[in-house]
């Protein structure tokens, strides 16, 4: 159940940590907090978490460094907290594997909406379970297993995907050979309640292309339709 989800908050601002902890605890989440990378590593070594809320500006290792390290080790959803107007941090965070971002200052309702949407997308909640997840989508020799939430190369090797990358690839594979606008991709892969940074779609497309070994200079699987969006070109079979 969503109420049992465990959240880890890493922010060096004690006031923000306490505020977020009280808010999320009041809404049924189990919350652990820390001020820096050492606290994060210690918490992760002691237990399992369903989502990490990570500030960009931290003493010692930055939130961006910690995001990269955490993503290399785990598919856990990551919500980055950034300073208002710091577009570079948001883009870099998404490129390093963050699933979403929230600019300070933010309202409690927006934070709760992001957390709930991210947990739902990562299949933590019961509501996220759908019968269609048992199927497999095959294209150009690749296999996308919706039940196990994994991607296999034509050679049978597993490819790690973040939650955002997986949902975006599912959106493409379920709507092949059709032009999808950025807004449609947001609706299909993330849900409007997430209200993500618009450029995140382009960043995620670039990451998915790399995972599919689709040449970014001349992509053949996910092609850009100038002014309209993107098209997933392979023929897709449902197994």
Pair 12, 72 in one domain: yes
Pair 15, 121 in one domain: yes
Burial 45-60 (b: 16+ CB within 10 A, else e): eeeebbbbbbbbbbee
Tell me which of 68, 100, 128 is where a domain ends.
128
- CATH code (residue 64): 3.40.50.2300
User: pLDDT tens, 29-77?
Assistant: 999 999 999 999 999 999 899 999 999 999 999 999 999 899 888 888 9
Pair 220, 189 in one domain: yes
Indicate the number of domains in the chain: 2
Q: At residue 92, does pLDDT exceed 90?
A: no
Tell me which of 102, 128, 154 is where a domain ends.
128
- CATH code (residue 152): 1.10.10.10
Pair 120, 138 in one domain: no
Pair 111, 152 in one domain: no
HSE-CB at 182 with a 13 A cutoff on CA atoms is 15
Pair 93, 104 in one domain: yes
Domain that holds residue 61: 2-128
Q: At residue 151, does pLDDT exceed 90?
A: yes
Binned at pLDDT 50, 70 and 90, residue 194 comes out as very low
CA dihedral 198, 202, 205, 207 (to 10 degrees): -110
Pair 65, 122 in one domain: yes
> Picking from 128-137, 143-152, 182-191, which range would have the lowest pLDDT averaged per residue?
128-137
Q: At residue 133, does pLDDT exceed 60?
A: no
CB under 8 Å to 228, separation ≥6 — which residues? 179, 181
The mean pLDDT value of the chain amounts to 84
Pair 122, 142 in one domain: no
> Picking from 92-101, 105-114, 216-225, 230-239, which range would have the lowest pLDDT averaged per residue?
92-101
Residues 189-212 have a mean pLDDT of 72
At residue 134, the pLDDT reads 55
Binned at pLDDT 50, 70 and 90, residue 15 comes out as very high
Pair 100, 145 in one domain: no
Tokens of 234: 């392979």
């Amino acid at each position: 159940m969503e109420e049992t989800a465990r959240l880890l908050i890493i922010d060096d601002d004690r006031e923000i940590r306490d505020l977020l902890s009280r808010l999320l605890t009041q809404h049924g989440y189990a919350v652990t907090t820390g001020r820096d990378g050492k606290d994060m590593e210690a918490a992760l070594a002691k237990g399992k978490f369903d989502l990490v809320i990570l500030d960009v500006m931290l003493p010692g290792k930055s939130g961006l460094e910690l995001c990269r390290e955490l993503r290399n080790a785990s598919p856990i959803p990551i919500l980055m907290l950034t300073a208002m107007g710091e577009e570079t941090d948001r883009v870099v965070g998404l490129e390093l594997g963050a699933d979403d971002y929230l600019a300070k200052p933010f309202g409690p309702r927006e934070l709760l909406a992001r957390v709930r949407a991210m947990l739902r997308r990562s299949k933590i909640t019961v509501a996220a379970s759908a019968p269609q997840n048992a199927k497999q989508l095959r294209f150009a020799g690749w296999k996308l297993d919706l039940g196990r939430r994994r991607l296999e190369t034509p050679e049978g090797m597993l490819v790690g995907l973040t939650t955002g990358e997986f949902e975006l690839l599912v959106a493409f594979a379920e709507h092949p050979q059709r032009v999808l606008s950025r807004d449609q991709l947001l609706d299909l892969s993330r849900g409007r309640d997430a209200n993500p940074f618009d450029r995140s779609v382009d960043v995620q497309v670039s990451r998915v292309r790399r995972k599919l070994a689709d040449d970014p200079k001349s992509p053949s699987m996910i092609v850009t339709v100038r002014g309209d969006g993107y098209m997933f070109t392979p023929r897709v079979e449902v197994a």
